[in-house]
Chain A
């Protein structure tokens, strides 16, 4: 099947036709004439490289009631993602070649997007013994990113060894920065709101202390460090400083930390419970500025599905995490593009090109040009939609944006040249 996309607007503003054939982008030119292809009228739509997520929780194996690799893949392509990175905190933990190969194969079987497993840094995410990182790297899943996400690799020696060990195959350690001794039973950002609500605080310093330590460790051993879900103004400053010293560190921010603050917690609705927690207005502004000036390299969803019983309860008993795949692009358009902090080209870099480059996903994250694998999306930037938690592709319902009107709809997603997602544009308006 070949497709001819007519009059799409590229991220640089050029209006072109795009011919997709045999899984590749066959031609990019104004006014292509080709009679054997399905025509997609894309006037007014943006064509972007398929989005790449470096931080996704898919819950399979172990908690298939909240998400499977197949349901997560469907959520991904609806949100414009053609590549996911499945975090290691499944049950069993993805700390062996067997588990990462299973996740990789299930992703291929679902066939909607690439699902690249992330390997655990330590056995069982316990932070004590290194997992078999080499075996995961040389497995058929070819793991390059290792993370104990959900838990911090808090022991400095373990972190040092992990950073050193992955150098042999140009791997990267993605750190969930949370000093555990400062966050025992922590429930939300420590500040004015936590003092009023009587919820135990998760102080910014607990994130920043680990970021500072790990930047110095990465410099010392000359390895690659990736900071997961940056949330604090101080963390942005530390990463900016590290980059100015030439240290090989990259950082991500989630859509929810660009939009929401700890004031959302005021009603104790556990849909706003997330780790790391929602921070203050000042932090949100610092994160936006950091993303705009390149300090923060990428947007990652930290898509974290949970069944309703784990959210429909008192705050303290609820699970941490929010859905993100199906709303990420809309939140970014709302917080960064409509505020003119990012243009479309920069948005495409932070949501597609940069994450693909960091992870080494070679068939993803290229500018739309002839000869590249056809992983691309079409977006209607003028469409608005009301987010409805009951209409998610995810098996879970824990979106914090239920009822919110957000801009931009992903109308088409192409994965390896196949049209894996299409919306009725009449209905989307």
Chain B
């Protein structure tokens, strides 16, 4: 594996290997070794064409805990808005000798373009490309599910996961569907029909427009953020109507099964897709997702840059 562009780049075995490595890194770090020397002298560039402080500091923290040098390159104003082109930026990073480039970009496929075009020889890690994929988010979500539901071998057969909200525009949803299916889980997408992609029949998932009928039969409820720019694009009549039909409020939370968990990739819109009750409930694993994000990204950097598949 040279790059991590899509969950499709990973076989089931490779995904489990990454998750296992992340768990081992967690054990090592809890044993008091917060910083490992593994990637000393290697440079990791965080190339962010979109603002995302959370994802950037998660990758930055992961790289630093492996002793890599980290360069943060904020390139807002991509060629989409006729600033510096992706190609020129890539060639600049190549000239600087980057070993890995973590790219966040507003255009779907930008990470693959960077990896395939011959502009750069570094490993490319997709940290979110447009409405396409966000593979490390899916890995950290799978890691968190396994941790909370005590599935030590990452075999998710029989697990019922509901992904709720703006599926159409969600890279988190696309990557999670691919990875959860790889690991054997049964995925249900829950959203108004306007936020379900036209081609969804090829995804091999269940689709349910009625959150209330689904919520009591799920082991994992994964809420997606509603972007403010969707409000005026006719996807739903109003924020309040959306919230009433598809928000995770106290009533729906109380109908979830005893062992089930609530996830959210953050940042949360409290009061819109998730109520404060739900966000702060015992079922919410949002902070574990953040913590595990660092471990999973350490595992990705470790495997890509050291070439080793385990510690």
A interface residues with partner B (beta carbon < 8 Å): 187, 190-201, 203, 267-269, 309, 312-317
Which residues in B have their C-beta under 8 angstroms from that of A194?
Answer: 197-199
Which of A193, A201, A316 has a CB less than 8 Å from the CB of B130?
A316
Min CB–CB distance A4 → chain B (angstroms): 51
Q: Which residue of A lies closest to B116 (CB)?
A: A267
When A197-B108, A198-B131 are in contact, do A317 and B199 touch as well, CB less than 8 Å? Answer: no
A313 to B49, CA, bound (A): 14
Query: Please, how many angstroms separate the alpha-carbon atoms of A190 and B202 in the complex?
Result: 13
CB-defined contacts of A192 to chain B, threshold 8 Å:
199, 201-202
Name the A residues within 8 Å of B174 (CB-CB): 196, 198
Residue in contact with A313 in the complex, picked from B87, B132, B197, CB distance below 8 Å: B87
Shortest distance from the beta carbon of B128 to any chain A beta carbon, whole Å = 10
Sample of 20 A–B contacts (CB below 8 Å)? A191-B198, A195-B200, A195-B202, A197-B108, A197-B132, A198-B133, A199-B131, A201-B197, A201-B198, A268-B109, A269-B116, A309-B85, A309-B87, A313-B79, A313-B85, A314-B79, A314-B80, A314-B107, A314-B109, A315-B108
| Cα A316 to Cα B199 with chains together (Å) | 20
Q: How far is the CA of A96 from the CA of B220 in the complex (A)?
A: 63
Please tell me if B171 contacts chain A, counting CB pairs below 8 Å. yes
A197 partner residues in chain B, CB cutoff 8 A:
108-109, 132
Contacts of A203 in B (CB 8 A): 198
- Hey, which chain B residues are within 8 Å of A269, CB to CB? 116
Contact assessment for A316 and B108 in the assembled complex, using a CB-CB cutoff below 8 Å: yes
B117 contacts partner chain A, Cβ-Cβ < 8 Å: yes
Closest to B131 in A: A198
Residue of B nearest to A187 (CB): B108
Residues 59-84 of B contacting A (Cβ, < 8 Å): 78-80
Contact of B203 among A195, A200, A315, A317 (CB under 8 A): A195
Pairwise interchain contact B108-A199, C-beta atoms closer than 8 A? yes
Report B32-69 CB contacts with A as 1/0, cut-off 8 Å.
00000000000000000000000000000000000000
Q: How many residues of chain B have a CB within 8 Å of chain A?
A: 30
Cα-based distance from A203 to B109 in the complex (angstroms): 20
Least Cβ–Cβ distance between A180 and chain B, in angstroms: 15
Whole-angstrom distance from the CB of A190 to the nearest CB of chain B?
5
Q: Name A184's closest neighbour in chain B (CB-CB).
A: B233
Given contacts A195-B202, A268-B112, contact A316 B117 (CB under 8 A): no
A314/B110 in contact, CB under 8 A:
yes
CB-CB under 8 A for A314 and B86, given A198-B130, A198-B133 = yes
B250 within 8 A of A: no
Q: Which residue of B lies closest to A308 (CB)?
A: B87
Q: Does B113 contact A (CB under 8 A)?
A: yes
Q: Does B3 contact A (CB under 8 A)?
A: no
- Asked if A315 and B109 sit within 8 Å, CB to CB, the answer is yes
- In the assembled complex, which residues on chain B have CB atoms less than 8 Å from the CB atom of A198? 108-109, 129-133, 171, 174
B225 at the interface (CB under 8 A from A): no
Cα A187 to Cα B132 with chains together (Å): 13
Residues of B with C-beta under 8 A to A190: 198-199
Task: Say if the beta carbon of B105 comes within 8 Å of chain A.
Answer: yes
Interface hub of A187, A203, A268, A314 (most chain B Cβ within 10 A): A314
In whole Å, how far is A390's beta carbon from the nearest beta carbon of chain B?
16
User: How far does the alpha carbon of A197 sit from the alpha carbon of B202 in the complex, in Å?
Assistant: 12
With A268-B109, A313-B85, A314-B107 known as contacts, the answer to whether A195 contacts B198 (CB < 8 A) is yes
Counting chain A CB atoms within 10 Å of each CB, the highest count among B109, B130, B199 belongs to B109
In the complex, what's the smallest C-beta–C-beta distance from B201 to chain A, in angstroms? Answer: 8
Q: Is the CB of B109 within 8 A of A199?
A: yes
Would you give the shortest CB distance from A55 to chain B, in whole angstroms? 28
Q: Nearest residue in B to A193 (C-beta to C-beta)?
A: B199
7 shortest interchain CB distances as A-B pairs:
A268-B109, A195-B199, A198-B132, A195-B197, A192-B199, A198-B131, A316-B107
How far, in Å, is B195 (CB) from chain A's closest CB?
A: 12
- Extra A-B contacts (20), CB below 8 Å, given A195-B199, A198-B130, A317-B80: A193-B199, A194-B199, A196-B203, A197-B109, A198-B129, A198-B171, A198-B174, A199-B131, A200-B131, A267-B116, A268-B116, A269-B116, A309-B85, A313-B85, A314-B86, A315-B107, A316-B109, A317-B78, A317-B79, A317-B107
Shortest distance between the CB of A404 and any CB in chain B (Å): 19
* Chain B residue contacts of A316, Cβ below 8 A: 80, 106-109, 130
Smallest CB separation, A196 vs chain B (Å):
7
Residues of chain B in range 190-208 having any CB-CB distance to chain A below 8 Å: 197-203
Q: Which residue among A192, A309, A312, A317 has the maximum number of chain B CB atoms within 10 Å of its CB? A: A317
Measured in the bound complex, the distance between the Cα atoms of B87 and A312 in whole Å is 8
Closest CB of chain A to B61's CB: distance in Å? 27
| Chain B neighbourhood of A309, CB < 8 A | 85, 87
Please give me the residue from chain A that is nearest to B108 by CB atom.
Answer: A198
User: What is the CA–CA distance of A198 and B107 in the complex, to the nearest angstrom?
Assistant: 9
| Across-interface contacts of A195 in B (CB, < 8 A) | 197-200, 202-203
Interface residues in B87-139 by Cβ distance below 8 A to A read: 87, 105-110, 112-113, 116-117, 129-133
Complex-state Cα separation, A312 to B110, whole angstroms: 11
Encoded as 1 (CB less than 8 Å from any A CB) or 0, chain B from 152 to 175 comes to 000000000000000000010010
- In the bound assembly, the distance between CA atoms of A190 and B199 in angstroms comes to 7
What is the CA–CA distance of A315 and B107 in the complex, to the nearest angstrom?
A: 7
- How far, in Å, is A282 (CB) from chain B's closest CB? 14
How near does chain A come to B24, taking the closest CB pair, in angstroms?
32
Give Cα A312 to B116, complex, Å: 11
In the complex formed, the residue of A with least CB distance to B109 is A268
Contacts of B105 in A (CB 8 A): 314
- In the bound complex, CA of A197 to CA of B133 (Å): 8
Specify which of A193, A196, A200, A268 is in contact with B113 (CB 8 Å cutoff): A268
List chain B residues, Cβ under 8 A from A313: 79, 85-87, 113
- Once bound together, how far apart are the Cα atoms of A193 and B133, in whole Å? 14
The residues of A that contact B86 with a CB separation of less than 8 Å are: 313-314, 317
Residues of B within 8 A of A201 (CB): 197-198
Least Cβ–Cβ distance between B212 and chain A, in angstroms: 26
Most chain A C-beta atoms within 10 Å of own C-beta, residue among B78, B86, B107: B107
B267: shortest Cβ distance to chain A, in Å? Answer: 20
B198-A315 in contact (CB<8A): no
CA distance A191 to B202 in the complex (A): 9
Residue of B nearest to A203 (CB): B198
A317–chain B nearest beta-carbon distance, Å: 5
CB-CB nearest in chain A for B168: A195
Contact B109 A191 (CB under 8 A): no
